[in-house]
Amino acid sequence: MDPVIIIGNGIAGISCARQLRKRSDVPICIVSEESPYFFARTALMYVYMGHMPKRDLYPYEKSFWKKNRLDRIQERVVEIRPEEKTIVFQSGKTQTYSRLVLALGSKARSLPLPGSDLQGVRGLYHWQDLEALEAHTPKLKQASIIGGGLIGVELAEMLHSRGIEVDFWVRESSFWNTVLPPEESAIINRHIESHGIRLHLNAQVQALQGDDEGAVSHVLTADGKEVPAQWVGATIGVEPNIEFLKQSSLETDRGILVNPYLETNWPDVYAIGDCAQQKNPPSHRRPIEAVWYTGRMMGETLALTLAGKKEAYRPGPWFNSAKFFDIEYQIYGQLSAQADPKNESQIFWQHPSAAKLIRWSFHPETRLFLGVNSLGIRLRHEYFHNHLLAGSTIDQVISGMQAAYFDPEFYPNYHPSILKTLNSY
Amino acid sequence: MTLSPQLYQRLGAASGLLGLLWSMLSIGTLGPSLGLMTVGVLLYSWGLYGPKGAGIQNNGVWHNALTNRGLWGWTLGLALTAFYVCIYWFPEVLGFGKETNTGVVALFDPLSYTLNGNRATQWFMYGTLYSFAIVVFGGKFLWKYRHNRYQIFRTLSVIFFQLIFAYWLPEFLAKMNPETPYFAKDLKNMWPLNYYFFDSWHLKNMLKGETLGLFFLIWGLLLIFVISPILTYAYGKRWYCSWVCGCGALAETAGDPFRQLSSTKISVWKLERWMIHLVLVLSLLTTIGLLWSFFGGKTGREIMSQQQFLGGTLIFLSICLVGIGVYKRNAWDRDTQYTLLSLGFLMLGSLAIHSFSDPRHILGLSAVKVQKWYGFGIGAAFSGVLGVGFYPILGSRVWCRFGCPMAAILGLQQRLFSRFRITTNGGQCISCGNCSTYCEMGIDVRSYAQRGENIVRSSCVGCGICSAVCPRGVLRLENDSPNNRLQEPIFPLGHLNSQKGTL
Ligand SMILES: Cc1cc2nc3c(=O)[nH]c(=O)nc-3n(C[C@H](O)[C@H](O)[C@H](O)COP(=O)(O)OP(=O)(O)OC[C@H]3O[C@@H](n4cnc5c(N)ncnc54)[C@H](O)[C@@H]3O)c2cc1C
Ligand code: SF4
């Protein structure tokens, strides 16, 4: 029997493979060019900063793959022939499949700037990106990061931890203010600067300048500054890694288009994770969600279908988290950076001195609870998940909040202060 | 002029080493040497944890040859091991003499006279240095985790118990009661961690030790049979292992820089389970044997006969066996089976001891030798040489993981009935692995967290570092009803049709 082939051994592909193996004996083969084993992309920064050894990137031991009969091939796939149910490797070899799962992930978007092909200008996504950065590190004195998102701030922390001066170029007027409301964003601005990062807001980078050897040497800004940088991190976002499929008959837009069953327009071919784009996403979700959790959920859902129990991908309430240097951030449900007062009211509590904040959003008329986000205070996922599913009101959510905190024991209890603030609204 | 962080670290290291050299050359008095070492640790920590501000301080841990099993790690490991070998087997090298002390040990004479009225022994020196290390490295740890109250309280607790209960009080009590024979006076050091508690000589000395001796005998029994089970039920084994215990105290303070070296491999976990439970069964059997021979002796016979002791032991073990069986009747897992099997084996063992031993020989082995070898193997070689000497190679909790019978008992209880667990925060885990890397007990925390499963492991000492280093706020140490502890993984995590268990 031809195997189920999964291209991509990221969280999406591996979640699918694991759950499929639990439910079925079909041969499974995982193809990926980047790494022989599944690794946690989310921990790349910790390896660079010396928190973790490289071997701890791998969530499963080597014996796991053998024990679960998950075959692995480390090679690049260059073509798919859906009529013949065949994939073609870079080496020219081919392999037929019974069903094919595309879990190709993303790649860093390249900078639309003159000089973006200079040596030392690079995103941070794949293992090889980290290797390149590591190899350059001994020579780096100053680095620039262009693009103020989650990977940008991680890269800033990484470089800074190795004693490299960092200029952080952000186009927006405040860090990540497309997602973070103004108070949150302001806290993070200050925090980034407090670590000695030079945060340039409203920044217009015009070009990158190289030296005689073709390596980047300076960042040129619209207002005429010339800032030295021997490394430029391109962190203006990621995009689905589907170049080799763009010319084929596979339906794509920014990502590979899928229906709720994660099926593509090719028979027996599915797409999951960062590379999948929902044709009709649920109202509370975006068509492409390039985060760990959705990859895992899609993989697990698809495994059910592949094992013969057809299951639609129906993500529950949105959740996510991040860490900006020392400040943890969590979000559950919907909460806008700039709330439209017709549909969304917000209330928030902020600690007078420490970087701690919680904000709730709800519907102004029905008082339906919409979402919550927090900085510096851990919140219990289950609590908000259940309230969001149950359609609770903001008042119900607030009255039970004592059960929602997830900080370690003995941490200060901010609940009385929070209630006081909320009552004054 | 401001000094760079690296300079602080270098100055600190230099000052610490100078202090060490000072005491090794035994110049003058102890004070300056300890002072130099304290200043050294403080300067070093200032340079290490000062500039970054409050938060997780693991930058460069795996780039540093001291903490990544590099050259400096091995050097320190060898030095520590040599030190232990001297203390246990060649105290004269350190200056401990038959009549008077010379060398390093002599430096501790004045302090020893003040505290207990006698000259220093190598053990007094060791106890002093041990407590000193817990205090100064405890200070370093407090500074490192200044943002985390759980860590602060926990560290203050281990420092307190070490200084007052383990170090000062026993010396003080000994000084106040110079007539009584020696018995252990550390209120928190319970059997079987105190492996000689039930040795004949120790029981006799306690019985001869008047009110104080009797108090320690009763306290010791209460501690292991009543107080500890209650506290472990309520808070998990952490109430002891990472809040009170002296071995834990050193591991959590001086050993903290090496916690990431504990292996998380599944094969090591297997080895750990076999070893620690074998040690437990062995130590229980030894204790039963020693007690049996005690009750055959003159002092013991007055309390109860060997038959009565055997009967009591068998009844106690059967109560445990039936109790666990009934309690776990609906959750009959491997751990329960092994526990019951071991209890059965112990009952057979007790019977065998009673049938095939005489007062001086337990199962054909000399009682005195059994005492000696157990003390040597478990007490010295394992807990000291391997346990601490190998901090920089095998991580800070080798002894607690593989060799401590106390940890084994508390662990069994933690696994079978306790309110303690580490709760996983829904679907927030990103599988980054910081929790597993920094688990000093080598628990692969990530393997549970990424499935949305709570962590209920017998070896978890509840240090709380996994929760501290997790960048996504996924882990929380909690005491709650034992019923919802072992919840099944949720699947698919965060999905609308998600269910408990595997759909
Ligand atoms: C530095 C960093 C930090 C992040 N932190 C977070 C976080 O904190 N939280 C969060 O939710 N998300 C985070 N993310 C995003 C998250 O890692 C991704 O959403 C997730 O890894 C996507 O998983 P995936 O399985 O879809 O794809 P990937 O992990 O990208 O795996 C796809 C694999 O397929 C391989 N592949 C692609 N095309 C081919 C081909 N033609 N032939 C062979 N192999 C191929 C790729 O090489 C890759 O190995 C982070 C990402 C980065 C880079
Ligand atoms: S629990 Fe936290 S530290 Fe552990 S793997 Fe998950 S996100 Fe990382």
Please give, rounded to a whole number of angstroms, the shortest distance from the CA of A317 to a CA of chain B. Answer: 7
pLDDT tier at B256 (50, 70, 90 boundaries)? Answer: very high
Q: Average pLDDT of A254-259?
A: 98
Rounded Cα gap, residues A179 and A176, in angstroms: 6
pLDDT for B503 equals 36
Q: Average pLDDT of B388-405?
A: 93
Task: Examine the domain organization and report whether A232 and A244 are in the same domain.
Answer: no
| Residue A113 within a domain | no
Task: Examine the domain organization and report whether A357 and A287 are in the same domain.
Answer: no
Q: Average pLDDT of B13-22?
A: 89
Q: Average pLDDT of A382-406?
A: 95
A24 in contact with chain B, both atoms CB, cutoff 8 A:
no
pLDDT tier at B490 (50, 70, 90 boundaries)? Answer: low
Pairing of strands A106-108, A357-362: unpaired
Task: Examine the domain organization and report whether A182 and A255 are in the same domain.
Answer: no
| Residue A114 within a domain | no
| Residue A204 within a domain | yes
Task: Examine the domain organization and report whether A286 and A260 are in the same domain.
Answer: yes
pLDDT for B491 equals 62
| Residue B10 within a domain | yes
Cβ density class A135-169: b for 16+ within 10 Å, e for less: ebbeebebbbbbbbbbbbbbbbbbbbbbebbbbbb
| Residue B237 within a domain | no
Question: For a pocket test of ligand 1, which of A32, A235, A239 has the largest count of ligand atoms closer than 8 A to its C-beta?
Answer: A32
pLDDT for B502 equals 43
| Residue B21 within a domain | yes
Q: Which residue has the higher pLDDT, B310 or B490?
A: B310
Q: What is the CATH number of the domain that holds A144?
A: 3.50.50.60
Is the pLDDT reported for residue B75 higher than 70?
yes
In this predicted model, what pLDDT tens digit does every residue of B460-479 receive, in sequence order? 999 999 999 999 999 999 99
Rounded Cα gap, residues B84 and B376, in angstroms: 13
Task: Examine the domain organization and report whether A340 and A411 are in the same domain.
Answer: yes
Is the pLDDT reported for residue B493 higher than 70?
no
Q: Average pLDDT of B112-127?
A: 90
pLDDT tier at B250 (50, 70, 90 boundaries)? Answer: very high
Domain enclosing residue B11, as ranges: 1-52
Average pLDDT of chain A is 96
Please give the distance, rounded to the nearest whole angstrom, from the Cα atom of residue A276 to the centre of ligand 1: 12
pLDDT for B71 equals 97
pLDDT for A211 equals 96
Tell me the one-letter amino acid at B313: T
| Residue A151 within a domain | yes
Give which of B267, B286, B280 is closest to B341, Cα–Cα. Answer: B280
Task: Examine the domain organization and report whether A294 and A323 are in the same domain.
Answer: no
Is the pLDDT reported for residue A152 higher than 90?
yes
In this predicted model, what pLDDT tens digit does every residue of B365-385 receive, in sequence order? 877 787 778 777 777 777 778
A211: tokens are 């030296």
Cβ density class B209-230: b for 16+ within 10 Å, e for less: beebbeebbeebeebbeeebee
Q: Average pLDDT of B302-319?
A: 93
pLDDT for B482 equals 87
Task: Examine the domain organization and report whether A399 and A335 are in the same domain.
Answer: yes
Which residue among A56, A293, A381 places its CB closest to the CB of B436?
Answer: A56
What domain count does chain B have?
1
B495: tokens are 């999905």
Whether A319 sits inside 8 A of B447 (CB atoms) is no
A240: tokens are 């689905």
Q: Average pLDDT of B29-42?
A: 92
A164 in contact with chain B, both atoms CB, cutoff 8 A:
no
What domain count does chain A have?
3
Task: Examine the domain organization and report whether A232 and A265 are in the same domain.
Answer: no
Is the pLDDT reported for residue B1 higher than 50?
no
Q: How far is CA B99 from the centre of its chain?
A: 34
| Residue A312 within a domain | no
Chain B positions in Cβ-Cβ contact with residue A412 (cut-off 8 Å):
149
pLDDT tier at A194 (50, 70, 90 boundaries)? Answer: very high
A311 in contact with chain B, both atoms CB, cutoff 8 A:
yes
Task: Examine the domain organization and report whether A231 and A245 are in the same domain.
Answer: no
A63: tokens are 């014996």
Please give, rounded to a whole number of angstroms, the shortest distance from the CA of A51 to a CA of chain B. Answer: 5
Task: Examine the domain organization and report whether A126 and A232 are in the same domain.
Answer: yes
Q: What is the CATH number of the domain that holds A348?
A: 3.30.390.30
Tell me the one-letter amino acid at A204: Q
Substitution target from A20, A51, A68 for chain B, most B beta carbons within 10 A: A51
Task: Examine the domain organization and report whether A358 and A412 are in the same domain.
Answer: yes
| Residue B404 within a domain | no
| Residue B22 within a domain | yes
**Helix B149-160 / helix B246-253 crossing angle, nearest 10 deg:** 130
In this predicted model, what pLDDT tens digit does every residue of A88-134 receive, in sequence order? 999 999 999 999 999 999 999 999 999 999 999 999 999 999 999 99
| Residue A183 within a domain | yes
* Three-class SS state of A113: coil
In this predicted model, what pLDDT tens digit does every residue of B186-225 receive, in sequence order? 999 899 988 889 988 999 999 999 899 999 999 999 999 9
Q: Average pLDDT of B486-491?
A: 67
| Residue A11 within a domain | yes
Task: Examine the domain organization and report whether A18 and A91 are in the same domain.
Answer: yes
Phi, psi for A228 (deg, rounded to 5)? -65, 140
In this predicted model, what pLDDT tens digit does every residue of A278-291 receive, in sequence order? 999 998 899 999 99
| Residue B298 within a domain | no
Residue B492: asked if its preceding bond is cis (omega within 30°), the reply is: yes
Domain enclosing residue A141, as ranges: 121-236
Please give the distance, rounded to the nearest whole angstrom, from the Cα atom of residue B189 to the centre of ligand 1: 51
Express as a percent the part of chain A with pLDDT over 70.
100
Cα B470 to Cα B49, B121, B462, B474, distances in angstroms: 18, 44, 15, 7
Is the pLDDT reported for residue A161 higher than 90?
yes
Q: Average pLDDT of B283-288?
A: 90
In this predicted model, what pLDDT tens digit does every residue of B123-178 receive, in sequence order? 999 999 999 999 999 999 999 999 999 999 999 999 999 999 999 999 899 888 88
pTM: 0.95
Residue nearest to atom 6 of ligand 2 (CA): B429
| Residue A311 within a domain | no
Q: Average pLDDT of B409-417?
A: 92
pLDDT tier at B488 (50, 70, 90 boundaries)? Answer: low
Q: Average pLDDT of A398-423?
A: 95
